[in-house]
Chains A and B, each alone.
Chain A
Amino acid sequence: MIDIQNLHFGYKKEKVFTGLSLQLQPGHIYGLLGKNGTGKSTLLRNIAGLLFPDMGSVRVLNFNPEKRQPAFLKEVFLVPEEFYVPPVRPSKFMDIYAPFYPRFDRNRFLKYLTEFELPMDRSMQQMSYGQKKKVLISFALASNASVVLMDEPTNGLDIMSKSQFRKVLAGTIDDSKCIVISTHQVKDLENLIDRITVIDQGRILFDQTLDKILSRLSFKISFDNEEIKDAIYSESSLRGNAIVTANRSAEESKLDLELLYKAIIVNRSGVLSAFPS
């Protein structure tokens, strides 16, 4: 669905990607994790056709995003971190913008707006940042675009909205869609994403499905000094030491995304050693 080969991209003097390759398949919600300024947004804008590779190729649904053909644009919806909304009410926004998306589901859009408890009678420009973002997320999901790209979607959302966001998103995914969520707030995506890609300094540090991660790694609280010493990553907490270890005995554990992310950043080789190719 999304095929990135040997992507080279840079802004004037600063190189962001030097040979990044990545394939994303339909039917998944991908979590694109990484620190600020590591190229997550740049990658999404390359996929959306808003930036053009210096070298290498990006193909989305067999389209070249650079051409920004209508057939491509109606299949790819980007929810940027900073965005513009026109000075109209959400219903008017739908009337104006939805006809560009042939599979747009009006009922679903209105249902999402209700779930997010958004004021329908207010101009979108008079809404708070979080409310505007929720309208845009609702629109993106109701557009039925095959590829939905979200850049830091949970920024600006309150706790309840984050929970609603996860619920709405989980109900949207099907075998024909691919959702890519870029964030540095890894906790917000727990129980939502099914494949995790970590990028740093323009390269992929880690790229695995959730099932594989849980079959190879174990996340737990430990008081056993020996186990803590052997752990791939550990950090002390009030409850004991939170650790990431290789899952050698096929034990079941609950993924701690934040812990995994820290383990990848601090001890990447240790994490990768649990995933022999």
Chain B
Amino acid sequence: MQASFSFTRLGLLIRKQWADHSKLYLLAVVAIFGLMAIAFYLWSLSENHDPASTYVILIVAMFLGGSIFASMMFADLSQRTTGIYFLSVPATHAEKLVCSILYSQVLFNLVILISFFILQPITLSLVKLNPHMHFHSDMARSEFSMLAKHITLGYLSLQAFFLLGSVYFQRFAFIKTVVGGLLIGVVFVLFIAYLIKPIFPSHVEMHGIFELRTDEGQDSSFSYSLPAWQTYLMRYAVQYIWVPVFWAATYFRLKEKEL
């Protein structure tokens, strides 16, 4: 176990990563806080306020900042000098990956969340001081928490995808990962539209990805789906599988990296 993973070495790597990049990280914290403060200021200028809409700021900051930050995690590998420095450190690829995940997907997100939850109550309490302001909420709490769960899962998957992009592409990792992601999306849509849908007769329609419905006319329709437990398992897999899949791909790409 010591040969493949050691928490002592991981601790040393975390310390080394901080020493190498602390200036950049501290600047990133200041930039995130500053940009979020500006966003909250702009939000406060409107007259009708839905506190739930402040989460748009959080989502934009997470999706944009998180993907940019994740795509920089293995930037050292884009140049031979820094790449040799990175790969020659006596630690396993798994430890180097975990260290990068810790900085990009744990610490970065903590900074975003802390910044948001400092600025949000301050902004709301300042806005409430103005008697002309109107507050309303269009979204039910249950609806909101379901949406938050899906957004969080999507966000973590996206970050893991950008982490993979940073080790995959030598230069312009962020842009290339965006383009790569778009291409995969387009190929998936074309695959469904031109290969999967034509397989079924015209009266059969896909309802989501786990159910087929037929319309036989004369108010007669049938629904075909997998057994509930299989649908549940597959839905669970579709939701949760991407992060570990992208991490595993990053690990293997890191292992085969040559400089």
Which residues of A does B touch, CB under 8 Å? 45, 48-52, 68-71, 73-74, 77-78, 80, 82-84, 86-88, 92, 96-97, 99-101
Is B19 a contact partner of A86 (Cβ separation < 8 A)?
Answer: yes
**Would B91 and A100 count as touching, CB distance under 8 A?**
yes
Q: Which 7 A-B pairs have the closest CB atoms?
A: A73-B90, A74-B90, A84-B81, A70-B90, A100-B90, A84-B85, A84-B82
Check if B259 sits within 8 Å of A83, measured CB to CB.
Answer: no
Cβ contacts under 8 Å, A99 to chain B: 12
Select one of A48, A68, A69, A88 contacting B19, CB under 8 A. Answer: A88
Given known pairs A50-B259, A84-B82, A84-B85, the reply for A96 and B15 (CB within 8 Å) is yes
Q: Are A52 and B258 in contact (CB under 8 A)?
A: yes
Which listed residue, B19, B81, B87, B92, touches A82 by the CB 8 Å rule? Answer: B81
Are A68 and B85 in touch, CB under 8 angstroms?
Answer: no
Given the known A-B contacts A52-B258, A70-B91, A73-B89, are A83 and B84 also in contact in the complex, defined by CB atoms under 8 Å? yes
Q: Cβ of B90: which chain A residues have Cβ within 8 Å of it?
A: 70-71, 73-74, 100-101
A95 to chain B, nearest CB (A): 8
User: Whole-angstrom distance from the CB of A204 to the nearest CB of chain B?
Assistant: 23
13 pairs from A and B in contact (CB 8 Å cutoff) = A48-B88, A51-B258, A69-B3, A73-B91, A78-B88, A82-B81, A84-B76, A84-B79, A84-B84, A86-B19, A96-B16, A100-B9, A100-B91
Cβ of B134 under 8 Å from chain A? no
Complex interface: chain B residues within 8 A of A97 (CB)? 16, 89
Give Cα A52–Cα B257 distance, bound, in whole angstroms.
9
Q: Give CA–CA (A73, B91) in the complex, Å.
A: 8
User: Which residues of the other chain, B, contact A48 by a CB distance below 8 angstroms?
Assistant: 88
Q: Which B residues are CB-close (under 8 A) to A70?
A: 3, 6, 9, 90-92
In the complex, what distance in Å separates the CA atom of A234 from the CA atom of B256?
Answer: 48
Does B207 lie at the interface of the complex (its beta carbon under 8 Å from any beta carbon of A)?
Answer: no
Q: How far is the CA of A97 from the CA of B92 in the complex (A)?
A: 15
Inter-chain contacts of A82 with B (CB < 8 A) = 80-81
Cα-based distance from A96 to B22 in the complex (angstroms): 13
The answer to whether the Cβ of B20 comes within 8 Å of any Cβ in the partner chain is yes
Do B81 and A80 touch across chains, with their CB atoms under 8 A apart? yes
- How far is B6's CA from A59's CA once the two chains are assembled, in angstroms? 24
Most buried by B among A68, A69, A82, A88: A68
- Least CB distance from B253 to A in Å reads 14
Contact B12 A69 (CB under 8 A): no
Question: Within the assembled complex, what's the spacing in Å between the Cα atoms of A80 and B259?
Answer: 12
Q: Which residues of B contact A69 (CB under 8 A)?
A: 3, 92
Instruction: Report the minimum CB–CB distance from B98 to chain A (whole Å).
Output: 14
Report the bound CA distance from A45 to B80 in whole Å: 11
Measured CB to CB, the nearest residue on chain A to B95 is A70
Check B89 against A100 for contact (C-beta < 8 Å): yes
Q: B15 contacts which chain A residues (CB < 8 A)?
A: 96
Q: Chain A residues near B19 (CB, 8 Å)?
A: 86, 88, 92, 96
Within 8 A of A (CB), among B78-116: 79-82, 84-85, 87-93
B203 is an interface residue with CB less than 8 A from chain A: no
The proximity string for B residues 1-21 relative to A, scoring 1 for CB distances below 8 Å and 0 otherwise, is: 001001001001001100110
Q: Using CB atoms, name the residue of chain B closest to A46.
A: B258
Write the nearest CB–CB distance from A239 to chain B, whole angstroms: 42
B23 beta carbon closer than 8 Å to chain A: yes
Cα(A48)–Cα(B90), bound, Å: 12
Query: CA–CA, A69 to B6, complex, Å?
Result: 12
